[in-house]
């Protein structure tokens, strides 16, 4: 059975792109194209479109949060929904904090439809809503300079996808309105808007191609993996659909746009834009699936003796990385293994390592222990008693030789 998270992620990204892309279309394409006097009905329809897809984005984001909480905690969905089990994930993880920020941004955009805000503020809010998912994706989990480049590329990828693919529904509404009105003013407006949107699409395609190549370089170990791994095959299918969209866009740009404002050209542009939207939805389906798989490049080193019931977290910073394994990963008597590494997974020279575990409930006391070195970058803390399950916070204090102290922290799930 297919993972429901794939569908939810795809719907969420589609709704977010449509909302932000429509806002960009209104301010960067439609209004600068000198709207006709009777533009208000179309503006109202575009506002309704923005509101509807924002609602879908918020609801699908909430479902995404619940599914993720159920997966992290190993709890049934009903228990997560009825007993507030999602709250720790919401407030104690990076995903949750980014979710809160994006929820607030979506509300601001929705309210701006009823109480207009400055154009620049709305565009900046939409851009931020589009970009923030990169912080909790594969790019946000990549350490060092490579991670910074990957995150910048992912940000560009999201922005350009929003400007082109996200703007297509608004473009279709505009063409449909122009076809219905059949007035010289609307024909001229549709022609100007189409040329502006075509220019936006060309810039977006350039950005998508460049950022897509950078992302693939960071996520795949070699070109061969495009055909030999599940992750690579999904990227190949996504690229194939993208090429199909490029072929349609090229026909729009070089064959139908020069024929405007002919009725036949408007009908063809409308039909082709709807085809682009359908293909784009398939692309977003693959994006939803890619987020549930691990990239094949730069695999994380893992402890060979880790048992299936262990709790594990990988923590990274520009200076060092640590893998913390708590065995068994449930409440009671446990032991912790800490492997300290450089970004390339070689041993990081360390004088001392301390482990601190902070409980889910602030009322309980945290405890801290010094780890014993076992060699080869591995450190161990024994005789630990974890009194309760939940999302604990693990903090690793590393004293390198030489260098300044490094603090790494991350949530870790302790089961019942």
* In contact, 321 and 342? CB cutoff 8 Å: yes
Contacts of residue 323, Cβ cutoff 8 Å, sequence gap at least 6: 300, 301, 302, 303, 312, 313, 314, 315, 338, 339, 341
pLDDT of residue 302: 47
Strand ordering across the sheet containing 350-358 = 367-370, 350-358, 390-400, 406-414
Q: Residue 124 CB: number of other CB atoms within 10 A?
A: 12
Alpha carbons 67 and 365: distance in angstroms, whole number: 30
Report d(CA 139, CA 136) in Å as an integer: 8
Give residue 301's pLDDT.
Answer: 44
Q: Find out whether 319 and 406 touch, Cβ atoms under 8 Å.
A: yes
The half-sphere exposure of 233 on its side-chain side, counting CA atoms within 13 A, is 4
| Cα separations in angstroms, 154 against 114, 261, 264, 314 | 32, 37, 38, 22
* Boundaries of every domain in the chain: 4-290, 311-414
pLDDT at 72 (0 to 100): 65
SS3 353: strand
User: How far is it, in rounded angstroms, from Cα 223 to Cα 233?
Assistant: 11
Q: What is the DSSP letter of 368?
A: E
Place of tokens 């798989």: 293
Are 396 and 354 in contact by the 8 Å Cβ rule? The answer is yes
Going by C-alpha positions, the residue among 280, 290, 343 that lies closest to residue 317 is 343
- Coil/strand/helix, residue 412: strand
Pinpoint the alpha helices (H) of 26-118: 40-73, 77-82, 87-92, 94-112
- Establish how many alpha carbons lie within 13 A of residue 22's alpha carbon, considering only the half-sphere containing its beta carbon: 26
CA 197/CA 188 separation, integer angstroms: 14
369 beta partners: 355
Alpha-helix runs per DSSP H in 252-321 = 263-290
Question: What CA–CA distances, in Å, run from 309 to 14, 281, 327, 389?
Answer: 36, 38, 7, 14
Angle at the Cα of 164 from the Cα atoms of 119 and 111, rounded to 5 degrees: 35
Around Cβ 170, how many Cβ atoms within 10 Å?
25
Q: For the structural domain made of 311-414, what CATH number should be given?
A: 2.60.40.1930
Please tell me the predicted confidence (pLDDT) of residue 229.
85
Residues contacting residue 304 through CB under 8 Å, at least 6 positions apart: none
Q: What is the DSSP letter of 373?
A: E
Mean pLDDT per 10-residue run, the chain (416 residues)? 81 95 95 88 93 96 86 70 73 82 95 90 95 75 66 90 95 92 88 93 91 83 82 90 92 91 91 94 90 64 61 81 89 91 77 90 80 89 88 90 84 84
Q: Are 177 and 247 in contact (CB under 8 A)?
A: no
Yes or no: say if 195 and 202 are a contact pair by the CB < 8 Å rule.
no
């Amino acid at each position: 059975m297919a993972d429901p998270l794939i569908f939810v992620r795809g719907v969420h990204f589609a709704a977010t792109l449509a909302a932000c892309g429509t806002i960009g279309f209104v301010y960067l394409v439609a209004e600068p194209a000198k709207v006709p006097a009777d533009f208000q009905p179309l503006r109202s329809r575009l506002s309704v479109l923005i509101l509807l897809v924002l609602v879908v984005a918020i609801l699908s984001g909430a479902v995404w949060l619940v599914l993720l909480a159920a997966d992290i905690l190993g709890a049934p969905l009903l228990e997560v929904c009825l007993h507030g089990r999602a709250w720790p994930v919401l407030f104690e993880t990076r995903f949750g904090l980014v979710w809160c920020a994006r929820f607030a941004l979506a509300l601001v955009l929705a309210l701006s439809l009823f109480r207009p805000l400055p154009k620049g503020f709305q565009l900046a809010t939409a851009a931020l809503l589009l970009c923030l998912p990169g912080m909790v994706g594969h790019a946000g989990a990549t350490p060092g300079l490579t991670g910074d480049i990957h995150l910048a590329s992912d940000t560009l990828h999201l922005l350009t996808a929003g400007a082109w693919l996200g703007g297509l529904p608004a473009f279709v509404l505009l063409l449909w309105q122009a076809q219905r009105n059949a007035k010289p003013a609307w024909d001229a407006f549709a022609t100007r808007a189409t040329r502006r949107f075509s220019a936006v699409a060309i810039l977006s395609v350039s950005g998508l191609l460049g950022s897509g190549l950078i992302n693939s370089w960071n996520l795949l170990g070699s070109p061969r993996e495009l055909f030999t791994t599940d992750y690579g095959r999904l990227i190949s299918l996504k690229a194939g659909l993208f090429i199909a969209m490029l072929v349609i866009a090229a026909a729009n740009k070089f064959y139908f746009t020069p024929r405007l404002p002919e009725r036949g050209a408007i009908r063809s542009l409308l039909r082709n834009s709807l085809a682009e939207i359908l293909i784009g939805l398939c692309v977003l389906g693959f994006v939803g699936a890619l987020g549930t798989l691990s990239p094949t490049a730069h695999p994380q080193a893992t402890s060979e003796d880790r048992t299936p019931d262990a709790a594990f977290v990988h923590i990274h910073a520009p200076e060092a990385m640590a893998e913390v394994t708590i065995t068994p990963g449930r409440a009671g008597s446990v032991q912790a293994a800490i492997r300290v590494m450089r970004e390339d997974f070689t041993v990081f020279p360390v004088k001392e390592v301390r482990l601190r575990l902070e409980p889910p409930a602030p009322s309980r006391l945290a405890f801290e222990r010094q780890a014993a070195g076992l060699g080869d970058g591995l450190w161990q803390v024994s005789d630990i008693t974890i009194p309760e399950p939940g999302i604990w916070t693990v903090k690793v204090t590393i004293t390198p030789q030489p260098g300044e102290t490094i603090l790494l922290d991350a949530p870790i799930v302790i089961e019942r």
